[in-house]
């Protein structure tokens, strides 16, 4: 059974009892101590944490958008709640929680949940790390037998005196609690019991047996001691800000946890808008019942998934267990030493500074955002730290978006190459103009624009330089491999980054497909040239092509292009030389180190025999590179039989060299659809003596074709003969004794391929039948 969503059929109740009930008990054992500790850290009544755990489990679990996410009181909100309790009192804080829940409910109804994912993870992780530091510093004072100060800085300053004047029993119970937390998870046989629960049980029993003088958790009256909300008094602007802060922080933490929960199971993906709505309902109910704010929490969610939860029943039941336990055994909770809860929170606070997040952010250069946010939360306050982190993240994003690299280097005598990479905006104009100023007048310039955006200021600066350079006798070859920002501006085409499809790498396109008509700007009709958006190098007048196709803008005027190349007929263009120039300019620098290593020796793995047809490019259909294939091409991909007449030593010599010298282990014969050689065998061979003589080697294929039964998937006589020919040429290979000997010994493999040109699909030969090669699926 897979994880289910909302409905459970009667036959699935067995699975609920088998998987979800045990998982709910595990989560319940984790949730109780964490809820008590977070309530203490928030300065709220201890019962308020349990109320939030019950509501988070039952309400958010039943209505939420994730089937495994567990909601309840979160350590990340404890600083906000503590400040609200200090400012407005506990009952007013409950009213703020209710209003925050209603705001979340409205936001969920507006379906803006995914906007929360736009918050930089560096800010979120930095905020949680800062909260962890503050919690750890404050609870450390309780573990040492004292009282926490108002701020993290004061806690640090008072720490030396607290250490010198510590209370032995408090320190001993704190050290014992942390020791159990550290050791418990490392003992396999004990992992069935959650470490937080074990730590509190051991600490409570030890304190009771030893008779230590410790402060006990105050839970007199259980849930009946909880007071309802009371409207806050004071500045309504500040109250509205508090409501917004609680709603956003709780909502963002819940949604990020919800997204993370998708990686923990293979069931239905989380519905973020539904989750935000459910969190709003849960917060409104929790606040109305006198509970802490509710949000999705990572620890309990991960525990739930790893415990084998299959449906949302696990989350709901864990809330029910919390309710029953608190109602029936509140006296047991009252035995827990407050110092043990403080030690548990100290341990949790340290764990919130996750070094794994720091390593992940380092590769994306977002560590400054993380540490600035954390420092802001610790030294100034939660809201202020988050605001500073968001501001820094926005500034860094703007800097990266406006980043541009301008590389100018001399490529030869009176020839320069300029490579501009990034987003060319007005911010990069000074760097661009400074770099271009060093290019001598009258020189030839290859200008490569690898841009994802160009604004008008940058275009004007670049175009003005180009006109001036060409006026002084220089020549400029402009190439835009990734988007025609420059040529589009010249032609008056409106371009939008989000609507520009990625352009293909053009090395595999035919020459004719790489050329476009390029109308010039009115002020640019002179000796200079522009090769915007092409890979062809050289000096070509914009009117030297006859356009057959066109890929204009969309009907909405967006300027986005169809993902189909424009075919232009060459008119005297020396295509081969231009292609080699493009290779020298683009590809050679990338493959030169590879070719240098294999310059003295080749070690191909395959002998690839295929047709000389111009539409078949072995390296494309096999995604192979230099050194992979030893290729033999001829008309019809024929392999003359040993001793055949007329004799042909060329093919035999290639096979001998590949097998005996290069030691290839696979020979592949690749045919293709619409083969002209096979068409000639079916019809009348053209009156070309050499071709007529060569096609005699295809007579066995024709005879095999005549004798074979047509297949149900037959595409026609020609393509059927093309496939039969591949099978026959593999048999012809076995007529060569040295090939047959190696095949029998298992040292050489013969394979057949068939390329359907129209479908661009490769088929592989399996037991005299061709089947399409399956596509590689990702994700």
Q: Which two tokens stand for residue 391?
A: 């501001």
Instruction: From the candidates 606, 675, 697, 763, give the one annotated as an active-site residue.
Output: 675
Q: Which two tokens stand for residue 80?
A: 């906000």
Instruction: From the candidates 125, 672, 723, 736, give the one annotated as an active-site residue.
Output: 672
Is 258 among the residues known to form the active site? no
Is 568 among the residues known to form the active site? no
**Are the C-beta atoms of 63 and 274 separated by less than 8 Å?**
yes
Spell out the residues 6+ positions from residue 192 whose beta carbon is closer than 8 angstroms to its own: none
Task: Identify the helix (H) or strand (E) that includes residue 569.
Answer: strand 568-569
Is 720 among the residues known to form the active site? no
Instruction: From the candidates 18, 86, 597, 615, give the one annotated as an active-site residue.
Output: 615
Angle between helices 78-88 and 121-143 (to 10 degrees): 60
HSE-up (13 A, CA, CB side) for residue 583? 11
Phi-psi region of 615 (alpha: psi -120 to 50; beta: other; left: phi over 0): alpha
Is 613 among the residues known to form the active site? yes
Spell out the residues 6+ positions from residue 111 whose beta carbon is closer than 8 angstroms to its own: 273
Cα–Cα nearest to 599, from 563, 626, 619, 575: 626
Task: Identify the helix (H) or strand (E) that includes residue 199.
Answer: helix 195-210
Distance, in Å, from the CA atom of 286 to the CA atom of 60, rounded to the nearest integer, reads: 10
Q: List Cα–Cα distances, 761 to 683, 764, 768, 773, in angstroms.
A: 27, 10, 18, 8
Instruction: From the candidates 448, 613, 648, 719, give the one annotated as an active-site residue.
Output: 613
Burial of 48 (0-12, 13-18, 19+ CB in 10 A): buried
Query: What is the three-class DSSP state of 49?
Result: helix
Q: Which two tokens stand for residue 192?
A: 């069935």
Q: List Cα–Cα distances, 452 to 191, 265, 455, 463, 546, in angstroms.
A: 52, 37, 10, 18, 29
Instruction: From the candidates 94, 568, 611, 670, give the one annotated as an active-site residue.
Output: 611
Straight-line distance from the first to the last Cα atom of the chain, in angstroms, rounded to the nearest whole number: 22
* Active site positions, annotated: 611, 613, 615, 672, 675
């Amino acid at each position: 059974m897979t994880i289910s969503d909302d409905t459970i059929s009667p036959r699935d109740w067995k699975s609920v009892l088998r998987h979800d009930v045990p998982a709910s008990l595990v989560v319940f054992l984790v949730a109780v101590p964490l809820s008590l500790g977070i309530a203490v850290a928030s300065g709220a009544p201890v019962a308020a944490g349990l109320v939030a755990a019950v509501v988070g489990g039952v309400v958010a679990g039943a209505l939420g958008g994730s089937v495994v996410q567990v909601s309840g009181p979160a350590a990340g909100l404890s600083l906000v709640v503590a400040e609200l309790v200090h400012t407005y009192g506990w009952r007013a804080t409950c009213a703020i929680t209710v209003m925050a829940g209603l705001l979340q409910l409205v936001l969920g109804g507006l379906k803006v949940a995914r906007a929360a994912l736009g918050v930089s993870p560096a800010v979120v992780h930095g905020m949680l790390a800062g909260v962890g530091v503050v919690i750890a510093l404050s609870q450390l004072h309780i573990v040492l037998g004292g009282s926490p100060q108002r701020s993290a800085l004061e806690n640090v300053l008072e720490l030396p005196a607290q250490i010198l004047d510590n209370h032995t029993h408090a320190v001993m119970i704190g050290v014992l609690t942390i020791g159990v937390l550290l050791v418990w998870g490392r003992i396999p046989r004990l992992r069935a019991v959650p470490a937080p629960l074990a730590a509190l049980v051991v600490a409570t029993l030890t304190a009771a047996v030893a008779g230590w003088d410790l402060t006990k958790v105050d839970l007199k009256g259980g849930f009946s001691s909880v007071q309802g909300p009371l409207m806050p008094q004071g500045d309504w602007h500040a109250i509205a800000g508090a409501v917004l802060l609680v709603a956003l922080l709780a909502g963002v933490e819940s949604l990020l946890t919800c997204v993370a929960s998708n990686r923990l199971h293979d069931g239905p993906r989380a519905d973020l808008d539904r989750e935000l709505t459910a969190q709003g309902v849960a917060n409104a109910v929790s606040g109305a019942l006198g509970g802490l704010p509710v949000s999705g929490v990572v620890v309990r969610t991960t525990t739930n998934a790893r415990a084998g939860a299959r449906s949302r029943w696990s989350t709901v039941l864990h809330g029910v267990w919390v309710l029953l336990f608190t109602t029936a055994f509140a006296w047991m909770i009252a035995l827990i030493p407050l110092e043990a809860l403080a030690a548990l929170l100290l341990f949790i606070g340290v764990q919130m500074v996750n070094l794994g997040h720091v390593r992940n952010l380092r590769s994306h250069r977002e560590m400054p955002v993380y540490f600035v946010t954390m420092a802001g939360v610790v030294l100034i306050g939660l809201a202020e730290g988050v605001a500073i982190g968001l501001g820094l993240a926005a500034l860094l994003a703007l800097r990266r978006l406006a980043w541009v690299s301008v590389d100018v280097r001399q490529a030869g005598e009176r020839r320069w190459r300029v490579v501009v990479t990034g987003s060319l905006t007005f911010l990069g104009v000074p760097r661009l103009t400074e770099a271009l100023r060093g290019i001598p007048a009258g020189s030839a310039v290859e200008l490569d624009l690898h841009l994802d955006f160009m604004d008008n200021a940058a275009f004007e600066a670049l175009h003005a330089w180009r006109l001036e350079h060409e006026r002084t006798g220089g020549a400029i070859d402009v190439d835009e491999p990734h988007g025609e920002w420059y040529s589009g501006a010249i032609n008056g085409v409106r371009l939008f980054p989000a609507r520009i499809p990625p352009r293909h790498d053009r090395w595999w396109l035919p020459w004719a497909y790489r050329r476009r008509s390029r109308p010039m700007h009115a002020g640019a009709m002179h000796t200079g040239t522009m090769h915007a958006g092409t890979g062809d190098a050289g000096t070509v007048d914009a009117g030297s092509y006859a356009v057959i196709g066109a890929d204009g803008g969309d009907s909405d005027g967006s300027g986005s292009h169809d993902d189909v190349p424009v075919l232009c007929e060459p008119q005297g263009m020396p295509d081969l030389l231009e292609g080699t120039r493009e290779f020298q300019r683009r590809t050679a620098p990338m493959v030169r180190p590879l070719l240098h290593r294999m310059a003295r020796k080749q070690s191909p793995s395959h002998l690839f025999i295929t047709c000389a047809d111009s539409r078949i490019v072995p390296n494309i259909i096999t995604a192979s590179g230099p050194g992979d294939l030893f290729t033999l091409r001829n008309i019809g991909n024929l392999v003359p039989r040993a001793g055949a007449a007329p004799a042909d030593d060329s093919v035999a010599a290639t096979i001998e060299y590949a097998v005996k010298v290069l030691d290839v282990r696979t020979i592949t014969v690749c045919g293709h659809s619409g083969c002209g050689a096979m068409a000639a065998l079916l019809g009348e061979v053209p009156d070309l003596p050499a071709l007529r003589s060569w096609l005699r080697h295809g007579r066995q294929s024709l005879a095999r074709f005549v004798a074979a039964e047509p297949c149900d998937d037959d595409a026609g006589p020609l393509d059927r003969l093309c496939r039969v020919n591949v099978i026959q040429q593999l048999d012809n290979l076995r007529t060569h004794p040295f090939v047959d000997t190696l095949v029998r010994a298992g040292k050489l493999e013969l394979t057949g391929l068939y390329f359907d040109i129209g479908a661009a699909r490769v088929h592989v030969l399996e037991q005299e039948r061709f089947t399409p090669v399956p596509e590689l699926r990702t994700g």
